[in-house]
Amino acid sequence: MFKKYNDKFITIMENTRPLILITNDDSIDAPGIHHLAECVRSLGDIYIVAPAHPHSGQSSALTVGSPLRITELPSDKEGVRLFTVNGTPVDCIKLALHAIVPRKPDIVLSGINHGSNSSVNIIYSGTMGAVLEACIQGIPAVGFSLLHHSLKADFTFSTAFVAAIASKILATGLPEGVCLNVNIPAKVIPEGIKVCRAARGRWTDEYKRYLDPMGVPFYWLTGHFIDEEPNADDTDEYWLRRRYVTVVPVSVDQTALGAIKDIAAKFE
Amino acid sequence: MFKKYNDKFITIMENTRPLILITNDDSIDAPGIHHLAECVRSLGDIYIVAPAHPHSGQSSALTVGSPLRITELPSDKEGVRLFTVNGTPVDCIKLALHAIVPRKPDIVLSGINHGSNSSVNIIYSGTMGAVLEACIQGIPAVGFSLLHHSLKADFTFSTAFVAAIASKILATGLPEGVCLNVNIPAKVIPEGIKVCRAARGRWTDEYKRYLDPMGVPFYWLTGHFIDEEPNADDTDEYWLRRRYVTVVPVSVDQTALGAIKDIAAKFE
């Protein structure tokens, strides 16, 4: 009798544990995604569904003209299942929801990206492409990025902040159509968390030019980032320079509502 | 003397003709981009810099890990130069600005896409990825899409609307950080132009499942679009159903400004 009750109780407990779907754009091989999973492992059952290969700078790209495969990998951690998809971060979210997770996840986390996704970089970010996709599907979603590009980056100081932000959003949700872009300073213990807007920025000097052995030019992406409002004190760039973890609420709807009236006047 | 004056005058005239940069995501081989160029050919000097191969659904993806090449193709139209880049629509804009056009273009146009980019589809759209990139670089930019996927789509009825919108924006510009997403109904003479917001929408039933000859499953993207607010009368979906050309102002800054206060309260 007790055994039966206990089994039922365990089943209920298992069914009510939050389901956490994790992806990234640096691929299943990147340390950042496994650190992210460790940060939140105590919060629920974890499905990691990550690109089989790196997809930095892939934005919300999806695979339209070729087939996708799902591969489950062995996991040595209880409560963690590991999958790869031979596609983009958005493919991972779409296919995970369609064919991998047993029910709608309670939260989607993406990252921890090896490198910044502050300011305008959200537009190019595969990390945030996955987050926007989850948001479109009505799931609270947060992207995490560390301001350090190396695959050997040290994520230690990010742990408490990642766990705190994920558990808070898991508990309280997010407004409809809004997801979060979290950036974390590298090599320091952050001063705290600032919720703020994305700085206006862009990249410049974006290509290095080479000549191939035949003398024909080719180009390789490089460049450096410009914060176009360095004196503003309410942007992610400002607070990252001051060693804060920045949280930018991001809207799925990109309509510039404030511009509708003026632009409508052009066509009257 | 007159010859010298005349040469100078011609030079001034040449220098003051607007410079129009055109790209797309369907590639240089798609009829839509050549129709777009014809629509605006009388307005200025045209540089077409398009992907060498189709890049639908590539969003703001850029090529980070491999080299890019520029190839100039012969053009049989005066005032039109043709180039391809072996990359994405965003690569085309970035590399055109870096290495192809003689000065900053007066306007960037993208399309005409073979297929809709209304509602949430702007997020996945390579057509709009290019437009957002131009906007980041401070250039007025407009993306055009026809609601017909076929490469044999008839663009005839779009001509007057594309020309009118492009010439108006060329003459009057756009607010900083705002670009336009224009969608055009297919197979009808449009009723007019409506400036409006993007409908909230998403895709469902997104994959067809197959078994390969070894019995291993693979998946191919498909699905159908859901307008999540079919009763709203101020969205692009609403006006497209009523045969209007829709113009959605799009913000480069994706910050959900209205959510900052509530989300900040979570972390106090």
Please name the member of B56, B193, B202 whose beta carbon is closest to the beta carbon of A64: B56
Q: Which fold has domain A2-198+232-266?
A: Stationary-phase Survival Protein Sure Homolog; Chain: A, (3.40.1210)
**ipTM above 0.90 for this complex:** yes
Is A220 within 8 Å of B67 when comparing Cβ atoms?
A: yes
From the number of C-beta atoms within 10 Å of its C-beta (0-12, 13-18, 19+), residue B14 rates as exposed
Residue B160 CB coordination number (10 Å)? 13
Is B68 within 8 Å of A221 when comparing Cβ atoms?
A: yes
How close is the nearest chain A Cα to the Cα of B10, in Å?
32
Is A221 within 8 Å of B57 when comparing Cβ atoms?
A: no
Structure tokens at A88: 């983009």
Q: What is the pLDDT of residue B138?
A: 97
Is B255 within 8 Å of A255 when comparing Cβ atoms?
A: no
B128-146 pLDDT, tens digit per residue, is 999 999 999 999 999 999 9
Domain boundaries, chain B: 2-200+230-255
Q: What is the pLDDT of residue B16?
A: 81
Is B267 within 8 Å of A195 when comparing Cβ atoms?
A: yes
DSSP code for A244: P
Q: What is the pLDDT of residue A15?
A: 60
Residue A79 CB coordination number (10 Å)? 16
List C-alpha distances in Å: B260 to A194, A196, A198, A201, A250.
10, 6, 11, 20, 9
Q: What is the pLDDT of residue B86?
A: 98
Please name the member of B172, B254, B267 whose beta carbon is closest to the beta carbon of A254: B254
Residues of chain B with pLDDT under 70: 1-15
3-state SS of B22-75? EECCCCCCCHHHHHHHHHHHHHCEEEEEEECCCCCCCCCCCCCCCCECEEEECC
> B60 Cβ partners below 8 Å, 6+ apart?
A59, A60, A123, A124, B90, B129, B132, B133
Question: Are A152 and A185 in contact, with CB atoms under 8 Å apart?
Answer: no
Question: Are A99 and A15 in contact, with CB atoms under 8 Å apart?
Answer: no
How close is the nearest chain B Cα to the Cα of A2, in Å?
41
Helices A31-40 and A159-172, interaxial angle, to 10°? 60
Residues of chain A with pLDDT under 50: 1-3, 5, 9-12
Which pTM does this prediction carry? Answer: 0.94
Q: How far apart are CA A179 and CA A111, in angstroms?
A: 14
Is B168 within 8 Å of A257 when comparing Cβ atoms?
A: no
Q: What is the pLDDT of residue B2?
A: 44
Q: How far apart are CA B105 and CA A27, in angstroms?
A: 37
Is A219 within 8 Å of B95 when comparing Cβ atoms?
A: yes
> B212 Cβ partners below 8 Å, 6+ apart?
B218
Please state which architecture CATH assigns to domain B2-200+230-255.
3-Layer(aba) Sandwich (3.40)
Mutate to test the interface with A, among B84, B123, B212 (most CBs of A within 10 A): B123
Please name the member of A90, A124, A260 whose beta carbon is closest to the beta carbon of B196: A260
List C-alpha distances in Å: A97 to A28, A94, B266.
18, 5, 28
Residue of B nearest to A194 (CA): B264
Q: What is the pLDDT of residue B15?
A: 60
* Residue A267: HSE in the Cβ half-sphere, 13 Å Cα cutoff: 25
Q: What is the pLDDT of residue B117?
A: 97
Write out chain A residues lying below 8 Å of B267, CB-based: 164-165, 168, 193, 195, 247
Q: For chain A, what's the residue count?
A: 268
